[in-house]
Every structure is written in structure tokens, then in C-alpha cells.
Chain A
Amino acid sequence: MSSYPTTMPPTRPEVSAGAPTESRARWIQLATSADHKTIGQILLAGSFGSLFLAALELLLVRVQLSVPDNVFLNAVTFDRLLSVYGETAIFLFALPLCIGLFYYVVPLQIGARGTALPRVGQTGLWLFILGGFVLYASFLFTPPEAGINPLPPLSELSFTGNNGVDVWLASTGMIILGLLLLSIDLLTTLHNLRAPGMAWRRAPIFTWAAAIVTWLMVVVVPIMLAAITMLMVDRKLGGTFFVGGSGGSPILWQHMSYIFFSASYMIIAVTFLAAISEIVQTFTRRQLLNRNVVIGSLAAIAVLGTLAWTQNMITAPLPSGWKYYGMLMSISLIVPFGLIFYNLIATVSASDFHMRAPLRYAMGALSLASIGLLAEIAQSTIAVGTQLQHTYDAWAATHFALIGFALFGGFAAVSYWYPKITGRLLNEERAKISFGVMFAGALIALVPLFGAGVEGQVTDSYRYVSGQGYDVFNLISAIGTLILFVGVIMAVGNLIKSRTEEDAALPDPYRGDTLEWLALSPPVAHNFDVLPDVRGTQPMRDIRDALVRRDAEAGNTADEPQPVA
């Protein structure tokens, strides 16, 4: 622990004019607030609740596969759990976590007093909540059962007659429409409400990532919404958009959905790489090496990764040009990813740092994601990909990358902004233990699956016969998933417990360099009383320097730094 003060002195200086008195019940305030901080908190709480559900579903799936010919779940239950797991992990956990973090942090980072279109954002939040509710309410009736990506014709009415696929379409449509509305609000805020002097070249990396991600959402979400509408028309109005041999094509759904799924993957990667960059800058007290190269690489990841959608389709009957194209786009992704990884590692490598919970989670995220991304790039070559796609090798690669970015990167980002969001410090000891358990669990759960995939075990199958060389791998993976589940519960429990048990935090407990640390912890409703002129990429450092100069000129050597807010 460093020597500078991180906790609030007993007499908290009240600089702001004070929040308006609470005249209404807390839940009414939460439900009716259009404040970006409230909406962001609800999104973050929702995504961590979904994380628990997703981890539980993954655990059940792995337990079913732990031994050959298991009878723990039947085929229908397994398919339903798998489909709901996929939707929960991507649409209810990872994407809302990205958008929620942006929605909470970015207006503070750019020095805005709110978002530009708060009612649009509020509508988005409620669409998201409604979508999640519809998905889980379906457990009372028929949950979706056509797979993580419900490929037509299996998801057409003639092959899946029950309402499961309709639930998938309705909930996914509402969730991504909600996230699109939140993105539009954020995008408008970014373009219009930056503080005086906050030119794009001075914007923090996380703000840049927010701009990249929200633009990408605006481009790709309508494509997925169109696909969902078309499949709805097929199912409810007798259309033939995705019916082969009737003028439509099942391949069309694959193009549309894989554009969105590739873009989601890249949204998750860009968000958490940017969050890790902020964490590295704060805890190493240095500006990131080659900052502009990193920002350009984030944009390149978003563009190239989305254009690489056909690498998911190298087994489909496509002209070979499409497959070469997808493969080249995927391989070229190694350039921006490599640049970011090396700049992050070199920045940490070249400096003294404080190994606190956010940086520890961030390093774990980089480690796991590097394994997943490199394995993905190997599989994007056609010769290897036609062998390994749809096996647990591909599953393990995707999970390494997404657990690395969304789970570890997510805990890194949330623990980094935890003092700002809650006004309390995170318990370091519990964070350390939960990190260790989660990291060990992720490795034990996923590394054996590479072996199972190379032996030829295909995904989505609810059972397998013994003696094919992958029984042991599945057993180890089930044990690892249990450890991962325990780790996730410990980490989420730490987030909940620290909120009441830990010390109150100062506005700027880590001495960060971006403007969100100027606001109180937690910020007042209007975020800032006074906005500074931004004169560089590190406005808070400039403010601290100015304070030091002022104190020196006045001959004032007070023991405590003056709070600024």
C-alpha cells in the first residue's frame, strides 16, 4: 500500500451545494431517474447478476459433460441451458457491462454534467431490463433451444415448433435495441458535451473506446435487428427469407448474425483493452507508451474484427473468395492486438507500479486473452479451421478471450472505478484471493478443452460415448468450472460486501489523471460544480500541479492536499 491518503478524513469537506433532499422512496428514484450514473449502476448491477446466472448455467453444462453417457440432463434441457447460457453471457453480461461502464464513466471523463439525450438512455435501460425479464420468464414456459446462435432452418417453425426461438428473438431484439439507444445517447454526448478544451486528441483512451464502440453499435445492431425481424416474419407470417429452396437462403442468416457476433466480440475486446490501458496508466503513473498508436489500434480492431465475420463460416458453402477474405482479415487482426498488448506490457515493464486489485485483474485479463486470441488466429487459417471449428478447441479459444476480456477485464474495470461509483474502497485482500481462485479455475476449466477439441469432441452435443480420448479432459474441465464459479461468487461477494464494510474513499484515491477523479465519490447529481479548462491529455495532473504551484507561491505547506471538486 502506498503512503498517500486514500480514505476520507472523518470530517468530510462539503464543497458542493448539496444534493436535493430525498422526497421520494429510494426505489422510485431509481426507477424514474434518467441520470447517467443511476442508469449505469443499474446496468452494471444487472450484468453482474447475469454473470452469476451465466456461470451457473455453464457449470450445469460442464457437469452434464463431465462423464460419458451422463443422464444428469436430457437433450432438450441441455440445449435450453446452452442456448440461454449463450444469450446470458453475451447479451445480458458482457455487452451491458461494456455499455454500462461507458455510460457511467465517460460523461465524467469528458467533463459533462449529464448525457445529451437522457430519456433515450432511460428507454434503452428499460428495454434491456424487459428483454432480460422475457428471457428468464421463458423458464416458466419454453426456453429457447436452437443453440447459442439459432441457425435457420433449425430455428424455423417447421423444425422448432415451440415458442423457444420466438423468446430468443424477442429478448435479443429488445436487449440490443436498448443497448443501441444507450449507445446513441452516449455518442451524442461524446460529440456535443465535452468540457472546454477537451479536443478529441486530448480525450482519454476509454473515451476513445466509447466513441469506437458506440459507432460500431450504430452500424451493426440494425443488421442484427433486421435478421431478427426477418426470422420473426418467417416464423409468424409464413415468410421464406431463410428457407433454402424457396427463394431464401439459410446462409443469409449466417452472414447477418456473424457480422453482429464478430462485432460483439470486438466491442468486448476494445472496451476492456481501453479500461486496462487506463488502469495501467494510473497505477504506473505514466502515460501509455505510443498512446496514439494504441487508440488507432483500437479502431482497427473494431473495423477489421467486424469485417472478419466470414471466418466463422469457413465450413459453409461459400465461394472460396469469402473464406480467404475472412481468413486474411482475422490474421491481420494480430497487428492491432499485438501493438496494444506490447505497448501495455512495455509500459508496465518500464515503470514502478502499485500492484492493487485493478492492475492484478488487468494483468490476468491480458494473460488469458492472449491465449484465446492466438488460438483464434491459428484457427482462422482455413486448413486448421476446417478441422477445429465446432469442436471444443474453438470453444476454449473463444472462452479464453471472452473470459479474459469480459470477466477479468470487467472485474478490473469495476474495481478500478469502484471508489468512484460506490464511494468506498474495495477490499484488497478478498480481491486478491478471488483473483487467484478465478484465474486457476479459468485455466483448469479451459486448457483441457483444447485437448478435447483436438481429439475431435464437437460442441453442442449433450452427451458422448466413452473411449474416444476425451473423458479425462471433460472431467478436469468440470472441476475447473466449479472453481471458476466459486471464484466468481467470491469476487461478486467482495463487490457487495465492500460497499458497506470498507472505508469511505476520497474523490481521487488512486491519483488518476482523467477528469472523473475530479468529481466527488460518489459524484453529485450534476457531476461537477466547476469545470476546468482542459489543456492536455492528463487534466487531473495539471490540476494537481497548479495546486502545488499555488501552495508554494503562498508559502502554504498544509499536511493534507486541498480537495478539489
Chain B
Amino acid sequence: MRMARSRLSGSCDYNGPALLPRSKKTVSLFIALAGFLTGMGVLAGPAMALSLNPEAGSPGIEKANTFHWIIFVVIVIAIVAVNLAIIRAARPRNRHVPNGGSARKGSQLKVGLGLGVVALAIFVTATVFSDQSRVVPVSTETVADVNESKQLEIVATGQQWLWRFNYPNGAFSYHRLVVPAGVTVALKLVSTDVIHGWNVPSLTGKADAVPGKTNWVYFRADEEGVHTGRSAILSGQGYDTMEAKVEVVSPDEYETFIEQLKTDIQDAQDAVEQTNHEGAAATTDVSAGALKDDAQDKTMKTAEKEQ
């Protein structure tokens, strides 16, 4: 019987125990897994706290960067650990050679990795939640048009394929957004055509401007400088050219800028109306019929704009 059995089964013991005995190695794998899960669960808290708190402003950004680095390290450790386990498992070997010592070391390594992840997660939580004093209320003294919630509200409109920014005083600019340093900016994202992805990674996370909906991003830059970003959602053939530039200037410069912008826009508007008026007057001289057509065109265009 023994002979026939060995012939049928070849060199391997296929009639061995159906289930492996529950070894310490298995237990250690589960401890590592449990540690990793706990770690990820604890990480979820700071992630939530950082992401959707409008008052967090720029201190939040610093913490978010720390958080990103730590989660990066955690993930790299986890990837290395899993792949080491795969390589170790798939290494050709002869099971008849006892191998107890190294297995024990391996289990210690896994327990250590699990505990390490937990420790990192606790560290992150402590970092993020302990330092609440840095989230200061926004000072509004130097900025005129800040609303009651102590935030500077600017409307960003996505269009194919540029961004338009409307400031509280009625001025507007394209491509380039100027904001004061040290003030929390509430950027209201709307769209007139397709979905556009607001994406200035050095200031804030991404948020979509969706037609018919309103989305918000909040940021506060404490230092003056220039931040750039690319639109992040495919919006048609000019998608690759759709960029936004955010300039952070001092509050005084900001005030001057938006007032100047308003004056410039009014001047340009006046100039256009002047030209138009002159043009219309000139047309009157030529023919009354042409003026009539022109006026009809204008009415239709206005109606289209209103729609």
C-alpha cells in the first residue's frame, strides 16, 4: 500500500493534514494585521480633521504635509513588509530541513512592524490634535470686504478653458487670483459649462467646479508668494492649457490691487461704451436700416447672456 501511495502522490505529501496547525507564525501574522488595521483606523481621525475644517487654514496645510509624509512612510513600510513576506514564502526550499529559528525571528519582525505602525499613528494623532492654538481666528481689520464669517469670499468660475475670479468689490480677473496673506480665503467654485477641477496643490486640495452646484475650498497663506496649478479634470480639447495662478500679497497691496482692478475695468467699460456710441452715431449717418439691424443684434446678444 505504501508503495502504491508514494507512486501515485509523487514526491509530495498530498495526503497530509488538511489544515495547518495554528502555529505562532500565523498568530503573529494576525497581530501584525490587527496592528496595521488599528493604525489605519487611528489615521482616519486626523485625516478627517484636516480635510474639512475651514478654519484650519495654513497651519492645517503644514500638518497635512506632515501627515502625508507619515502616511507615505507607513505605506512604504507596509508594501515592503508584504512583499518581503511574499518573497520569503515563495523562496524554493526543502521542508524536511527544520527551520525553526528563522521563523521565530520572522514573527518578531512582523509584530514589530505592527507595533511600529500603531506608534506612528498615535504620533500623528498627537501632532494633529495637540496644537490647536495655532488655528487662530482670522483678523479682519485690514481687509475691507470680509464677510461676517471672517473669511474673504472670492468666486472662482470655471469656463472652457480658463478661470475667472470675482472679488467682493465687483472687480474680476482671469487666470490670476490675488489674495491677501494671513486671511482665510473661502473660494466658491462654480462652473458655466463642464466640470473643472480646481487644483493648486501647494495651497489646498482639489475640488471640482460643477455646473449647477457650488463647491468650496478654504486656504490661508501666511507668506507672500506665487502658487500655480493645473486644472485636474478632463474638460475638452483645451484642457492642457487651463491653469490658475494664485499670488499672495500683503493685505495693503491686495486692497490697492482690487481697487485698481475695479477702476481699470470701469475705464475699459467706459471706453467700450464710448467707442460703441461713436460707432453707432457714425452708422446713423450712413443708413438708418443698418442701425436698426445693429440694435436688434445687441438685443439678441443681451438676451443670450441673460439666459
CB of A492 closer than 8 Å to a CB of B:
no
CB of A466 closer than 8 Å to a CB of B:
no
CB of A399 closer than 8 Å to a CB of B:
no
CB of A458 closer than 8 Å to a CB of B:
yes
- State how many angstroms separate the Cβ of A288 from the closest Cβ of chain B: 9
Taken together as a complex, chains A and B put the C-alpha atoms of A324 and B71 apart, in Å, by: 18
Q: Nearest CB to that of A351 among chain B residues?
A: B95
- Residue contact B230 to A324, C-beta cutoff 8 Å: no
Partner of B75, one of A346, A352, A378: A378
Contact string, B92-125, partner A, CB cutoff 8 A, digits 1/0?
1111000000000000000000000000000000
CB of B288 closer than 8 Å to a CB of A:
no
Q: Nearest CB to that of A328 among chain B residues?
A: B44
Q: Given A289-B20, A345-B89, A458-B231: A317 and B214 within 8 A (CB)?
A: yes
**B residues less than 8 Å from A463 (CB atoms):** 240
- State how many angstroms separate the Cβ of A544 from the closest Cβ of chain B: 6
- Residue contact A383 to B4, C-beta cutoff 8 Å: no
Query: Which chain A residues (266-312) contact chain B, with CB distance < 8 Å?
Result: 285-287, 289
CB of A524 closer than 8 Å to a CB of B:
no
Q: Name B's interface SS.
A: mixed
- State how many angstroms separate the Cβ of B109 from the closest Cβ of chain A: 13
- Residue contact B193 to A153, C-beta cutoff 8 Å: yes
CB of A511 closer than 8 Å to a CB of B:
yes
**B residues less than 8 Å from A345 (CB atoms):** 29, 82, 85-86, 89
CB of B157 closer than 8 Å to a CB of A:
no
Taken together as a complex, chains A and B put the C-alpha atoms of A246 and B94 apart, in Å, by: 70
Contact string, B207-251, partner A, CB cutoff 8 A, digits 1/0?
110111111000000000000011111111111100000000000
Taken together as a complex, chains A and B put the C-alpha atoms of A384 and B20 apart, in Å, by: 40
CB of A3 closer than 8 Å to a CB of B:
yes
Q: Nearest CB to that of B67 among chain A residues?
A: A383
Q: Given A289-B19, A370-B82, A378-B75: A146 and B234 within 8 A (CB)?
A: yes
- Residue contact B10 to A4, C-beta cutoff 8 Å: yes
Taken together as a complex, chains A and B put the C-alpha atoms of A354 and B13 apart, in Å, by: 12
CB of A496 closer than 8 Å to a CB of B:
no
Taken together as a complex, chains A and B put the C-alpha atoms of A279 and B82 apart, in Å, by: 19
Chain A interface residue count, CB cutoff 8 Å, equals 89
CB of A27 closer than 8 Å to a CB of B:
no
- Residue contact B8 to A548, C-beta cutoff 8 Å: yes
- Residue contact B47 to A384, C-beta cutoff 8 Å: yes
Q: Which of A92-100, A219-227, A336-344 is found at the contact surface with chain B?
A: A336-344
Q: Which of A17-25, A385-393, A497-505 is found at the contact surface with chain B?
A: A385-393
Partner of A250, one of B40, B82, B211: B211
A-B pairs under 8 A by CB, number: 249
CB of B286 closer than 8 Å to a CB of A:
no
Contact string, A435-463, partner B, CB cutoff 8 A, digits 1/0?
00000000000000000000010101111
- Residue contact A460 to B234, C-beta cutoff 8 Å: yes
- Residue contact A153 to B195, C-beta cutoff 8 Å: yes
- State how many angstroms separate the Cβ of A456 from the closest Cβ of chain B: 5
CB of A531 closer than 8 Å to a CB of B:
no
**A residues less than 8 Å from B50 (CB atoms):** 382-383
Taken together as a complex, chains A and B put the C-alpha atoms of A538 and B41 apart, in Å, by: 38
- Residue contact A159 to B236, C-beta cutoff 8 Å: yes
CB of B72 closer than 8 Å to a CB of A:
yes
**A residues less than 8 Å from B305 (CB atoms):** none
- State how many angstroms separate the Cβ of B235 from the closest Cβ of chain A: 6
Q: Nearest CB to that of A282 among chain B residues?
A: B14
Query: Which chain A residues (50-103) contact chain B, with CB distance < 8 Å?
Result: 75-76, 79
**A residues less than 8 Å from B3 (CB atoms):** 557
CB of B199 closer than 8 Å to a CB of A:
yes
- State how many angstroms separate the Cβ of A269 from the closest Cβ of chain B: 15
- Residue contact A315 to B206, C-beta cutoff 8 Å: yes
- Residue contact A334 to B239, C-beta cutoff 8 Å: no
- Residue contact A2 to B11, C-beta cutoff 8 Å: yes
Q: Given A75-B237, A384-B47: A366 and B86 within 8 A (CB)?
A: yes
CB of B162 closer than 8 Å to a CB of A:
no
- Residue contact A154 to B195, C-beta cutoff 8 Å: yes
Partner of B211, one of A153, A390, A541: A153
Taken together as a complex, chains A and B put the C-alpha atoms of A221 and B97 apart, in Å, by: 52
Contact string, B38-60, partner A, CB cutoff 8 A, digits 1/0?
00110110111011100000000
**A residues less than 8 Å from B215 (CB atoms):** 316-317
**A residues less than 8 Å from B36 (CB atoms):** 334, 338
- State how many angstroms separate the Cβ of B128 from the closest Cβ of chain A: 9
Among B5, B87, B92, B234, max chain A CB count under 10 A is at: B234
Taken together as a complex, chains A and B put the C-alpha atoms of A483 and B261 apart, in Å, by: 54
Taken together as a complex, chains A and B put the C-alpha atoms of A367 and B79 apart, in Å, by: 9
Q: Given contacts A251-B210, A458-B199, A547-B8, list 20 more A-B pairs with CB under 8 A.
A: A3-B11, A153-B193, A154-B195, A244-B210, A249-B212, A286-B16, A315-B197, A315-B232, A317-B214, A323-B52, A327-B48, A341-B82, A346-B89, A377-B40, A381-B47, A381-B71, A382-B205, A383-B50, A390-B232, A458-B232
Q: List 20 A-B contacts (CB under 8 A).
A: A154-B195, A159-B160, A286-B16, A316-B215, A317-B215, A323-B51, A345-B89, A367-B86, A371-B83, A375-B79, A381-B51, A386-B51, A386-B205, A390-B206, A456-B230, A458-B230, A462-B240, A511-B9, A548-B1, A561-B8
